[in-house]
């Protein structure tokens, strides 16, 4: 009975392993995506679906590789109170700027422009 484990050539095996390692190093140097899907060049990874890619971009690993910090600074009570005051002032200013009569007047002017316009008569929207 023959030994089936010794039928491979050692030199051939070494040559094949050298080629494989060279191809791997070559692929890493080029940094080209091999698989389908979305490729992140920052993290050098492939993501299959677009939603997964968005999750990856917003994730900690990707942000860390970009050099961004994910830590938030704590707000003090005074900062929160000031923010509420500024938002309250903005809302009050918006309410003051909104005048119902002026808006109705502007809409009537726009309506008259459309009544007298050549385009409206051509489209069949002339006055009744």
Which tens digits make up the pLDDT trace of 27-58? 655 555 456 788 888 888 888 888 999 899 88
- Convert the pLDDT of each residue in 65-114 to its tens digit: 888 877 788 999 999 999 999 999 998 887 766 677 888 888 888 887 76
In a domain, 92, yes or no: yes
Domain hosting residue 97, numbered range: 77-122
pTM to 2 decimal places = 0.34
**pLDDT reported for residue 76:** 94
- Same domain? For 81 and 117 the reply is yes
Distance CA 83, CA 77 (A): 10
**pLDDT reported for residue 116:** 63
- DSSP letter (8 states) at residue 75: P
Q: Can you tell me whether residue 38 is helix, strand or coil?
A: strand
**Residue percentage of the chain with pLDDT more than 90:** 12
In a domain, 81, yes or no: yes
Q: Domain tally for the chain?
A: 2
**pLDDT reported for residue 104:** 85
Token pair, residue 33, equals 């995506």
- Same domain? For 53 and 35 the reply is yes
């Amino acid at each position: 009975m023959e030994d089936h484990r010794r039928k491979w050539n050692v030199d051939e095996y070494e040559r094949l392993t050298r080629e494989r390692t060279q191809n791997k190093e070559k692929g890493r140097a080029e940094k080209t995506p091999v698989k389908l899907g979305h490729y992140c060049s920052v993290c050098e990874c492939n993501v299959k679906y677009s939603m997964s890619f968005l999750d990856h971009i917003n994730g900690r690993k990707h942000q860390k590789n970009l050099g961004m910090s994910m830590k938030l600074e704590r707000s003090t009570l005074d900062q929160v109170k000031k923010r509420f005051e500024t938002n309250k002032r903005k809302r009050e200013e918006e309410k003051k700027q909104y005048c119902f009569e002026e808006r109705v007047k502007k809409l009537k002017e726009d309506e008259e422009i459309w009544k007298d316009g050549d385009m409206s008569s051509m489209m069949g929207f002339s006055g009744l």
